[in-house]
Structure 1
Amino acid sequence: MAFSLDLTADSTRNALRPSTAPEKPSLIGLTRAEMAEALVATGVVPERQAKMRVQQLWHWLYVRGVSDFAHMFNISKDLRAALAEHFAISRPEIVEEQISNDGTRKWLFRFPPRGAGRPVEIETVYIPEEGRGTLCISSQVGCTLTCSFCHTGTQKLVRNLTAEEILAQLLSARDRLGDFPDRDTPAGAIVPSEGRKVSNIVMMGMGEPLYNFDAVKKALLIASDGDGLALSKRRITLSTSGVVPEIYRTGEEIGVMLAISLHATNDDLRDLLVPINKKFPLKELMKACREYPGLSNARRITFEYVMLKDVNDSLEDAKALVQLLKGIPAKINLIPFNPWPGSNYQCSDWEQIEKFADYINAAGYASPIRTPRGRDILAACGQLKSESERLKKSERLALEAMMIAGHGEA
């Protein structure tokens, strides 16, 4: 069963108007040092108190999940009012929430204008599984990579998301899933990390994370901070199509798990499927993977490989894949192609996918076949696309009315 929370046509139009109100800076997404500097610069907090106040705010924002200064009960009423006057900590607007038959959730978030820009919309997906829950987070509005099998790649890049907007997806998802402690829990209580609905995050949503490196780095370091959201870096995976220079930086400066959107074993085919390969060919990409810090059998690189019928799914392709990854501690995720309107590809036959997986397993690599999730709400891998690129609700309703009028009850 799927349902959606849609705005009315009037409220949609109002939301899309550029804001004329002064934009308050958000405390979400700031480092501790940046937060302290902002508090002191506005005169809200004297410098001698800055470290202590940052510690309090960090706890309220990232452990308690508070989105209103009024709920920070161990901070004086006057200070809460001053904070609210100068800063924002609110969540983005949820334009639509859909729940798939398999329990997958997809949210369409709308962020307010930045500077002279307009509001933007992105999609975020939550995938519940036995023993864990994974949140697929977007890093850009649109994408520049134009991977030929990917729905998101058909949408032009609008802009990068800020660290605040990247973290807001995680905070909003935890809100919706009831993943923060109740307000009745004492403010100083240590909330257990076990049993959280969002236990893993993957930077696999809209966009190429490494083309937005600085914001992604800041967001992931905050997400993995032990005094806040406290996600283990082994439970955070960054997926890239192969931006080689930033792969090195990811290992050195962020230290999260790495996934490579591979999909082909030779440059000619990968140039077609993943055009960034023309800039960073397989030889350079594999070198960066082999040199990624901390690789071991317990800390493997995940290689994502979408199964495209009669394109990259032969036994010869499987043999070439094993040879390409030789010597790299790796897991190979085989992804049945998720169809989308206008695609020129077909999913490989299931029997062929299993033969492909059997060969790779026999060669010593784990090669799970990813179970498609959320297909009925276009939430599966490669299907994310901003709702702003589709018909708006009012247009859909008008079109449906015309069809009914023209064709009757049939």
Structure 2
Amino acid sequence: MASASTPIALPVTTRDPRPGLSGLTPGELEAWLVARGQPAYRAKQIGDGIWRTGAWSLEEVLTLPSALRSELAAAFRFDTVADTERRLSDEGLTEKGLHRLSDGALVESVLMHYPARGAQRERHTLCISSQAGCAVGCPFCATGELGFTRDLETAEIVDQVRHAARRLAAAARRVTNVVFMGMGEPLLNLDRVLAAVDALNDRKRFGLGARHITVSTSGVVPGIRRLTALGPQFTLAISLHAARDPLRDVLVPLNRRWPVAEVVAAARDHAA
């Protein structure tokens, strides 16, 4: 999918084997706690620390005992984004974030600010990545030219949103829309994308309405069909780029596998 022209660094270190806390469901977190003799209510305290307080580390979640914070830190990562470089453009209305992951892979997110105009409220839309690199290989896309590195974990997807949300909260603002249109093809990492959408939509976690979430695809027909069967409430956007197969074969190489007619038919069924 579309991306800025910043190169993606190939992994240079061993990937941290600890899963990200934000990728766990409340039930999974509660089960982990109970198995270690902790009261189930600790799951809500941890969840509040992840999603509600704006904490940047477990050490800032002071509702938890120190011993439990240490045990959690040994088993999980509070944040899977190791480092972020920000670049501002459009007089500060666009913020590009380059996020370094535990293995050295880099992914991008873009936070776009839309001031209030007339009856329209201000919006803060975040475009996030679902893969490091992309296997689709569209010639007009810098990410496609650089090739595919790996799928992102659920927490690595969600933590791009948490990172932006913490920055906005400092100015009493919030992320109003999330678009899966950064690096990668979301429907080629669909299980983790769906898990990330669940986390973002869940009122007990990030709490963003499904109608404020958009998943974009370059035309992975089996993925579109699967979404149609699941019946999600979020918006599905399809990037055609061309309406005729000869040109789309060049612009979107996936078209050689799923041509325009198949993509359009799947889209019509999804919209029905």
Q: Same fold (TM over 0.5)?
A: yes
The answer for the alignment partner of 2:87 in structure 1 is 98
Counterpart residue type for residue 100 of structure 1? S
* Match of residue 290, structure 1, among 258, 262, 268: 268
The answer on whether the counterparts of 1:179 and 1:198 sit within 8 Å (CA) in structure 2 is no
Counterpart residue type for residue 13 of structure 2? P
The alpha-carbon distance between structure 1 residues 85 and 94, as it changes in their structure 2 partners (threshold 3 A), is closer
Distance 2:97 2:246 in 1: 36
The alpha-carbon distance between structure 1 residues 18 and 71, as it changes in their structure 2 partners (threshold 3 A), is same
User: Is 2:164 the partner of 1:169?
Assistant: no
* Match of residue 121, structure 1, among 65, 84, 106: 106
The answer for the alignment partner of 1:111 in structure 2 is 101
Structure 1, gaps ≥5 residues long: 1-15, 114-118, 181-194, 296-410
- Deviation by residue 1:152-202 (Cα, 9 ceiling, x = unmatched): 21111000010010011111112233359xxxxxxxxxxxxxx73311010
Distance 2:75 2:141 in 1: 41
The answer for the alignment partner of 1:30 in structure 2 is 24
The answer for the alignment partner of 1:70 in structure 2 is 59
The alpha-carbon distance between structure 1 residues 177 and 142, as it changes in their structure 2 partners (threshold 3 A), is same
User: Is 2:123 the partner of 1:132?
Assistant: yes
Distance 2:77 2:127 in 1: 25
* Match of residue 87, structure 1, among 76, 85, 92: 76
The alpha-carbon distance between structure 1 residues 253 and 84, as it changes in their structure 2 partners (threshold 3 A), is farther
Report how far residue 68 of structure 1 moved. 2.1
The answer for the alignment partner of 2:240 in structure 1 is 262
Report how far residue 95 of structure 1 moved. 4.3
Structure 1 residues 220-239: aligned runs within 5 Å? 220-239=197-216
Report the TM-score, using the length of structure 2 for normalisation.
Answer: 0.85
Counterpart residue type for residue 33 of structure 1? G
The alpha-carbon distance between structure 1 residues 93 and 76, as it changes in their structure 2 partners (threshold 3 A), is closer
The alpha-carbon distance between structure 1 residues 24 and 153, as it changes in their structure 2 partners (threshold 3 A), is closer
Computing the radius of gyration over CA atoms, which structure comes out larger, 1 or 2?
1
The answer for the alignment partner of 1:363 in structure 2 is none
The answer on whether the counterparts of 1:147 and 1:274 sit within 8 Å (CA) in structure 2 is yes
Secondary structure of the corresponding residue to residue 198 of structure 2:
helix
Counterpart residue type for residue 169 of structure 1? Q
The alpha-carbon distance between structure 1 residues 63 and 275, as it changes in their structure 2 partners (threshold 3 A), is same
Structure 1 residues 176-187: aligned runs within 5 Å? 176-178=167-169
Distance 1:279 1:38 in 2: 43
The answer for the alignment partner of 1:141 in structure 2 is 132
Counterpart residue type for residue 268 of structure 1? P
Distance 1:253 1:37 in 2: 29
Report how far residue 23 of structure 1 moved. 4.0
- Deviation by residue 1:269-315 (Cα, 9 ceiling, x = unmatched): 1111111111111221112111215x6xxxxxxxxxxxxxxxxxxxx
Distance 2:100 2:173 in 1: 25
The alpha-carbon distance between structure 1 residues 23 and 289, as it changes in their structure 2 partners (threshold 3 A), is closer
The answer on whether the counterparts of 1:108 and 1:122 sit within 8 Å (CA) in structure 2 is yes
Counterpart residue type for residue 47 of structure 2? W
Report the TM-score, using the length of structure 1 for normalisation.
Answer: 0.58
Counterpart residue type for residue 215 of structure 2? L
Distance 2:159 2:131 in 1: 13
Structure 2, gaps ≥5 residues long: 1-10, 116-121
The answer on whether the counterparts of 1:233 and 1:256 sit within 8 Å (CA) in structure 2 is yes
Distance 1:53 1:212 in 2: 31
The answer for the alignment partner of 1:357 in structure 2 is none
% same residue:
39
Distance 1:217 1:262 in 2: 22
The answer on whether the counterparts of 2:20 and 2:80 sit within 8 Å (CA) in structure 1 is no
The answer for the alignment partner of 1:374 in structure 2 is none
The answer for the alignment partner of 1:207 in structure 2 is 184
- Deviation by residue 1:78-99 (Cα, 9 ceiling, x = unmatched): 3333323333203513342100
Aligned length: 254
- Pairwise CA RMSD: 2.2
The answer on whether the counterparts of 2:86 and 2:97 sit within 8 Å (CA) in structure 1 is yes
Distance 2:52 2:227 in 1: 26
